[in-house]
Amino acid sequence: MILEFLFRWAHVLFGITWIGLLYYFNFVQGEYFKEAEAGAKADAMKKLAPRALWWFRWGAMFTFLTGAYLLHSIGADRDIAGQPIIWVGALAGIFMFLNVWLIIWPKQQIVLGMKEGDGPSSAAKAGLASRTNTLFSGPMLFGMLGSKHLFIQDAGGTGFYAAIALIVLLEANAIFGKTGPMTSVKGVIHCSIALTAVVWGLLNFL
């Protein structure tokens, strides 16, 4: 019991670090870089961004590891394991973690001049993955909290599979697609809220 509580505490703590920096990159730093003078932007890319990315990617790593332990531990808890909302949220969180380590960090290394590559293309791919993670943050947190505070009876219903398929399709867009309405800060916030509502609706009514 105490061990599980400590993992939950650590999961939330690491998650705050990770998602807080995700929002910082999307809502603050990215917008600042659009307006910053060349010298100020170059200095921030050299000294600020690498530090922030270090905390960002390791926050993601330890959020994932503690979350994986908690997912394993709830396997024996039918009241939670039987709820589809936790698995939809977990899938979104897993994709977010993979986006950090397989897309955002490798591409940002090129953008920051830490390794060779196509800078503009890498910036676009990292930006799309980062926007997708911001999109997923709403339903991910909804699933995390909903597993304890919401009850959805039919764990194997059509709505569950529809919600899973939707998350998978949006992740495919993160790899192969475009930012679309997520291009602006307001756009990605509205899309995240809308996605959360759609997921909840699918799980409840379909």
- pLDDT value at residue 153: 59
- pLDDT value at residue 80: 61
Supply the Cα-derived Rg of the chain in whole angstroms.
Answer: 18
Dmax of the chain from CA atoms?
Answer: 57
Is 9 exposed, middle or buried, given 0-12, 13-18 or 19+ CB atoms closer than 10 A?
exposed
Per-residue model confidence as pLDDT tens for the chain (206 residues): 899 899 999 999 999 999 999 999 999 999 999 999 999 999 999 999 999 999 999 999 999 999 999 988 876 565 565 678 889 999 999 999 999 999 999 999 999 999 999 999 999 999 999 999 999 999 999 998 887 777 665 555 889 999 999 999 999 999 999 999 999 999 999 999 999 999 999 998 87
- pLDDT value at residue 68: 95
Q: How many CA atoms lie within 13 A of 154 on its CB side?
A: 12
Number of domains present in the structure of the chain:
1
- DSSP SS3 for 9: helix
- pLDDT value at residue 134: 98
Q: At what angle do helices 84-99 and 158-176 cross, to 10 degrees?
A: 10
* Domain span including residue 67: 2-205
Total-model pTM = 0.94
Full 3-state SS string of the chain: CHHHHHHHHHHHHHHHHHHHHHHHHHHHHHHHHHHCCHHHHHHHHHHHHHHHHHHHHHHHHHHHHHHHHHHHHHHHCHHHHCCHHHHHHHHHHHHHHHHHHHHHHHHHHHHCCCCCCCHHHHHHHHHHHHHHHHHHHHHHHHHHHHHHHCCCCCCCCHHHHHHHHHHHHHHHHHHHCCCHHHCCHHHHHHHHHHHHHHHHHHHHHC
